[in-house]
Structures are given as structure tokens and as C-alpha cells.
Amino acid sequence: MSKKIELPKVNELCSRSFTQYEARTIEGNENVGIVEGVPIVFEQPTDIGGWFEETIARGAITEEVLQDVALFFNHDLNTKPLARTRNKRLSFTIENDGVHMHSELNLLRSDANDFFLAVRDGDIDGMSFMFRVKAQEWSDLDTDYPKRRITEISFVQEVSGVNYPAYNGTSINARAVSSRDSDKRVLEYARALLLGDSEETKKALELEKAKNENRMKLGGF
């Protein structure tokens, strides 16, 4: 039976995209655009770039870490938020199946209106949720396809509409090179802990790096 390990608590920045969302207007009030979605689904195994399978445990996130979250376009934190939990235009509810998002955009703002129309018309084809992983468990690290279970999320930074989700074909995707690198590093770290500080560890890490580089050359993420 494959050994299961729990990594020391960290604050790994992680970003995943989701496709369960919709955009609509409120009947009788065309100045408000509604964008809703399910950014985090509990207990659903998800492929992460072909490197490992990831599951977010039910109970991994609390309402406390959803108190100050903003909605942006393409993770551009230098722009004005399109909605924010502090102004009540963005809200999250934790339900049995996952975290549900509800946003109300002021369509009298040109940037919010452009964003809403792009989401509604499918020009923006993904939504991305950025958060920090505090606690996780790994299993099957001695195989080519290990499993990660996220058991605690410590912080949610923002949610964004994105043009190009990175891991096409998966239901939850990393958004950018920095996030993909983070996924690779945490896998390497978990394997190093399992194998111990030895020559075998070094060889395993070098092999994994070679595999990752080959995936990038072939167009994978």
C-alpha cells in the first residue's frame, strides 16, 4: 500500500480555473449584471496537468477566509475591482458540493459592462480563483500519478475572468507559468519528503524535472 504523508503547513499560492459559471441580467433591472459560478468543488478528483490528481476536502475552507475577495479581469490587481465582498457586490456561500460565487456588476461602469458582455458571449472562456493552500496530504507518491488532498485553505485573494485557461481539457486549471511552477515544486517537495534526503531523492527529482521539461516542449503545462 502506498505511503500517505502530510506536508508541513505552508501557504502555497495556488490558482485554479473553473467552467461552471453563467452570466445574466436581473429581470426589470438591466443595469445589474449577474455572474455566478462554483469556483471550488469539494470531493471531486481533478487532473492537474497530467502530474497529479487533486481533491479539495469538504471543510477545507471556511467563511472567515472569504471576507475580503475581489473580482478582476485577468488577475490585473492594478485595476479597479469589478466587484468586492466588502461592498456586497460579490458573495460566496459554502454548500455541501462546494463554494458558490454570486456577483452583481454595475453595468453603468464601462469596464464592468464590457466584462459582463464578454463573459455572457463566451469571449472570456474561463474564471480563475486564487487561494493559498495551508494543509495537504499526498498519497501514491511512488507512482507516476500521485494524489493530493487539500485539507485547509488559509486565504482567498481574488477571482478573475481569464482569456486562456492553462490546462485545457481539465475541469479545474492553473492560470499561469508561476502557478504551474508552484504545482511542480510542491509535487517535488512531497516526493523528497517521502524518499528522504538521499541519492535516490536527487535522482527522483532530476527525473521529474526532465519529465516536466519534456511536457513543456510538447506544449503541455
Are 166 and 176 spatial neighbours (Cβ–Cβ below 8 Å)?
A: yes
pLDDT at 198: 53
Consecutive H or E run containing 25: strand 21-26
**pLDDT tens-digit map of 77-128:** 899 999 999 999 999 999 998 999 999 999 999 999 999 999 888 888 777 8
- DSSP three-state, residue 215: helix
More confident residue, 178 or 116: 116
- Highest mean pLDDT of the ranges 43-47, 58-62, 139-143: 58-62
**pLDDT tens-digit map of 118-148:** 988 888 877 788 888 888 899 998 888 999 9
Consecutive H or E run containing 114: helix 110-121
pLDDT at 207: 58
More confident residue, 26 or 101: 101
Give alpha helix (H) positions in 158-220: 177-195, 199-217
Domain ranges of the chain: 5-175
Residues 6+ apart with CB under 8 A from 130: 13, 14, 15, 75, 156, 157, 158, 159, 160, 175
- Highest mean pLDDT of the ranges 23-27, 36-40, 105-109: 105-109
Q: Work out the mean pLDDT of the chain and round it to a whole number.
A: 78
Are 61 and 99 spatial neighbours (Cβ–Cβ below 8 Å)?
A: yes
The rounded distance, in Å, linking the Cα atoms of 183 and 17 is: 14
pTM: 0.73
Consecutive H or E run containing 115: helix 110-121
**Which candidate, 64, 44, 88, 27, places its Cα nearest to that of 153?**
64
